[in-house]
Structure 1
Amino acid sequence: MGRFFLIMVVLLLLGVGCSENSTPRSLDDGFVKLPIDAQIGLANPASTYCEEQGGKLEIAENDYGSTAYCGFPDGTYCEEWEFYRGECGTQQKTDNSSVIQQHMQLTSPAFQHEGLIPSKYTCDGQDINPSLTISSVPEGAKSLALIVDDPDAPGGTWVHWVVWNIDPGIGIIAENSKPGLEGVTSLGQTGWGGPCPPSGTHRYYFKLYALDTLLQDGVKETVGADALVSLMEGHILGQAELMGKYGE
C-alpha cells in the first residue's frame, strides 16, 4: 500500500511539471518569424534567373490570365520559363524565331481594344475594313501578315480577312484598302468580310504578325488562314493583337 501511494505522488509531480512547460507561447517568445515570401513558398527560380542575367521581369495580362516575360536591353523578350530552360535568348540555337517577343502594337482609330466596332465596317453598313495603326515593328521584319477571325461563330472560328506580304513600314492600313496579298475567308472569297453575327455579341480578333521573310513560294490567293499560319511557322519575329466586339 505504501508503494502505491509513492507511485501516485511521483505521477502527480510529473503532471504538474508537464502542465507548466506546455503553456502556449506567442511568436515573440523566442520563435523566428519567417518572411512573407518564405511563408508562401519558394522563390520562382525563373524570375530569379531572369534578374541574375540582367533582364527585367514584366507581366503581360489579358482576359484569360497573365504571362511573365524577361525583357532585355536590346528590346527583345522571352517568356520567363523558356529563358530559364535555355529555349529563348541570345544563346539559343533554334530556327523558330517566334520565341523572341517584341512589343509590336496594333490599334485602330475607329474603336478601342475590346470596344465596339462601328456598324460602318460590318454587313449592316458599308462592310469595309477599318483603318489600323501599326507601331514598333521588330527590327529585321521583311513583311507583315494579318488574320481577322471570330471565335464565337456557331460553327467554329470564322475568318473575316487574310492578308500577307504587307510592307513592314506601312504604319497605317487605310480604311477600305488592300494592303497586301489577300487570301480566302470563310465566305469563300478574298478581301474583307465584315462582322455579321447571327445573334449575340461576338469578338473579332485582328492578329498581326511580323515575319523575317516575304511569303512567295507556293503562296497563292487561294490560301486560307490555316495554310497561312503553317507558312509563317519559324518566321515570326513578333505579333500584336487587337480585339473589337459587334452584335446585339
Structure 2
Amino acid sequence: MEIITDIAPLRARLRHEASVAFVPTMGNLHAGHLSLVRIAQKHASCSVVSIFVNRLQFAPHEDFDRYPRTWSDDCRLLEEQGADIVFMPDEKTLYPVPQEFQLLLPPVADTLEGACRPGFFRGVTTVVLKLFNIVQPHVAVFGEKDYQQLQVVHRMVDQLNLPVEIIAGETVRDEDGLALSSRNNYLDATQRQEAGELAHHLKQIRDSIASGERDFPLLEQLVAEKLSKRGWVVDYVAVRQQHTLLPVAASDSSLVILGAAWLNQTRLIDNFLLTLP
C-alpha cells in the first residue's frame, strides 16, 4: 500500500491504471468504511481511499476540531484490507487559496440535513468535486448511511456529466442496529446503550408502512415524540421518496425513512429503505 500526500505524485501514480475505484472518507475508519473499500476493489484494478477532514462542511459551532483523527490506525486497517493507495492531503494541498468557487445546489440540498446544517452540502460537493478532479476515478463508492449526501452526489455527477459511476454501499450496523459512524466514539457507555433506539424507531415506521399504514405525518410525529420522551432532541423524522427526497405521492413505491437526532452532545443519523409492491 502506498501513502501519497500531494496531488502531482498521485496523478503520476494513477496515470497508467486501467481502472480506478475511489472511496472518499474523513478517516477514523470502522467496518462500514472497510465494506466500501471491499466494494471498490471489486470494481477496479486500483483502489484509492482518501482521508481528509473537510473544514468546509462543518459550521463554526460544529465538531471540526474534535472530530476523531486516527490516521495511523486508519492506514493499518487499509493495509490489512489490501487498499492500493491512501491519499492523505493536508488543508494547504486541497485548499491552497480560499475556496471562492462553489456550486449552486438544487433545492433538495436545503431540506433535511441541509436545513439542519446550512452550508453542509456545499462543503461536501466542493471537496468531492475537487477529489474527483484529482483522482479521476472510474467508480466512486459512498455509504447509504449518509443517504441524502449520496443522492446529492448522484445529482452532481449526472448534471455535471462527470465520468464517474457512483455505487452505494449498504449501511453496516452493530448488533443492536446502530449504524456504524465515527461519531459513535463520542457516546459514553450509557448513551451507547440508548443509541440503537434511533434505528429501532425508524424500523417501526418502515414496518408500519409495509403493513399498510399510509398516514406518514402521523408516523413521523409519533416516532419523534417517542424519541423526545427518551431524552433525544430530534432534528427530523421523515418519510420521503427515495430518489427525489420529496414528500411521498400516492404513486410512489420506493421510499426512504430518515431520521436525525441528538443524544446529549452527539448527533446521529440513520435511514431505512422500503420498496412497496
**TM-score normalised per structure 1:** 0.24
- The structure carrying a bigger helix percent of its residues is 2
**TM-score normalised per structure 2:** 0.22
In our comparison, the structure showing a higher alpha carbon Rg is 1
- The structure carrying a bigger strand percent of its residues is 1
